Structure 1
């Protein structure tokens, strides 16, 4: 049975239009204020441009904590690692952001080439870039472009036929390895994101967390939407075994979707958590 999400005053995992979210950084910050969120970490995929945008705007906002969700490879599998609390001008995180932008541009061109050859559409990359508001487009933006051009009825249908896992538009990127990413971003507090999504066995997940900890990882995202009580208990045991702090977040992307900003399962008491760790470094 899935753990029930409850409202929190801290949000540690959400996205804006700087990656695959639907709200601008300004709109997301405003929504956080309206939701009673006091501390907000925006964790866009492989970039932290949202913070640069918000630094130019004067508006009521929660306390902001720098964040980024990094795409990495571990034993041939793509994982996501959340990095928090790093300086906005940190050379390592800026270098990682630049590297991933190059990787994502190459991936977008490959996706566009496959879709154009298979579906007979033209200028799909330009349409996807428009959906991404000028940023590097990902699969969700290509799905929106296919809907716009009348090739697909819905985004879900576009993923089912052409862009979902194992489909022709599911182009594997040359992400940096876990080891490489951890070495580049040492100034951040690194947390393994939504570990249940990777569909690992418990044994393999323990191996992953053990290696992650040895490379400087500090935490595991325990409280995420959809996690079962069984996996919650297993992850909690693993966190204790490898001396990892615990965190939680909604993984919010857009209003009306499967997640709600600031709502995720309750974190256990008497366990080191991300909020307390951030207080140590401030």
Structure 2
């Protein structure tokens, strides 16, 4: 639909990525990304650094965040794009989410101690530049030799149903949508096919999201089949949602890369078609 390369979903060390905000922008630039949103989990602490680097490189930078929410006893991620980062409502929500995340991280550390892993919170904290997440615990478990890789850490300790899993009590989807929109942004369902749900349940989620005022859905991501992308595109049109794109990049690997294969089918309406209506929050520094 466009020759311009967008990536509107990625993570830095402000949450559970391994590259700093400026390194994320640098890598995106090297991969040919011309318009980038940094969407760390429940925090906007990396936006200033990322924007500064984007200005230096001539990359169009868009404010972003990925808010954790609860729906039908499942964690659903809602991306907010192109919002005012100084919104008091957004600031208050993210402060509450940060406290919930800290409480969860401390409880995970306590459970790991009972499982024979002492000082796990301190170890995970040393690996985190921002908030401590399950990903940091997984990396710590690899570092101390408890598991061979991060996937094994989740399978053995950290996934739902395992001994050290702690359920998070996140905000609900209507609250996330409302606050993103109050901040002038666009709320989007992240990676709809990555939740452990049938197509029927995913459509129920999308219907609720739309009814609550949601505006977009991630149609394009790394590692999709053509059929999967077309399926989400059909849902976008059925529910009259804007189509977004995002690699969900956390760290360099072979199958997920900034800007990789993030094209949209021709028959959807791209989310960036609405950015012009909100110029206050779009940092358009692209010099090309």
Q: TM-score, normalised by structure 1?
A: 0.91
1:153 is matched with which residue: 133, 145, 148? 148
The Cα shift of 1:69 comes to: 0.7
1:45 is matched with which residue: 41, 50, 72? 41
> What are the ranges of 5 or more consecutive residues in structure 2 without an aligned counterpart?
280-288
Runs of 4+ in 1 over 6 A off after TM superposition: none
State yes or no: 1:261 paired with 2:258. Answer: yes
State yes or no: 1:247 paired with 2:244. Answer: yes
State the secondary structure of the residue aligned to 2:115.
Answer: helix
User: Match of 2:18?
Assistant: 22
State yes or no: 1:91 paired with 2:85. Answer: no
How is 1:36-185 mapped onto 2 (pairs within 5 angstroms)? Answer: 36-54=32-50, 59-119=56-116, 121-133=117-129, 135-185=130-180
State yes or no: 1:238 paired with 2:242. Answer: no
Q: Distance in 2 between matches of 1:64 and 1:255?
A: 21
CA contact under 8 A between 1:8 and 1:263: conserved in structure 2?
no
In structure 2, relative to structure 1, the CA distance for the partners of 1:218 and 1:227 (3 Å cut) is same
The Cα shift of 1:256 comes to: 2.0
The Cα shift of 1:245 comes to: 0.9
Residues 182-214 of structure 1: per-residue CA shift (max 9 Å, x gap)? 222222201100000113222222221111112
State the secondary structure of the residue aligned to 2:261.
Answer: strand
1:214 is matched with which residue: 208, 211, 214? 211
Q: Distance in 2 between matches of 1:71 and 1:46?
A: 7
Q: Distance in 2 between matches of 1:73 and 1:79?
A: 6
The Cα shift of 1:160 comes to: 2.4
User: Match of 2:283?
Assistant: none
Q: Distance in 1 between matches of 2:75 and 2:16?
A: 17
Q: Which moved more, 1:197-206 or 1:123-132?
A: 197-206
2:6 is matched with which residue: 4, 10, 17? 10
Q: Distance in 2 between matches of 1:147 and 1:75?
A: 32
Q: Distance in 2 between matches of 1:228 and 1:77?
A: 25
User: Match of 1:273?
Assistant: 270
CA contact under 8 A between 1:45 and 1:69: conserved in structure 2?
yes
The Cα shift of 1:151 comes to: 2.4
Q: Distance in 2 between matches of 1:130 and 1:111?
A: 15
In structure 2, relative to structure 1, the CA distance for the partners of 1:29 and 1:118 (3 Å cut) is same
The Cα shift of 1:270 comes to: 4.0
Q: TM-score, normalised by structure 2?
A: 0.89
> What are the ranges of 5 or more consecutive residues in structure 1 without an aligned counterpart?
1-6
Residues 61-99 of structure 1: per-residue CA shift (max 9 Å, x gap)? 511100001100112211001100001201122112101
CA contact under 8 A between 1:139 and 1:169: conserved in structure 2?
no
The Cα shift of 1:136 comes to: 2.0
State the secondary structure of the residue aligned to 2:9.
Answer: coil
How well do the aligned residues superpose, as a CA RMSD in angstroms? Answer: 1.9
CA contact under 8 A between 2:7 and 2:262: conserved in structure 1?
no
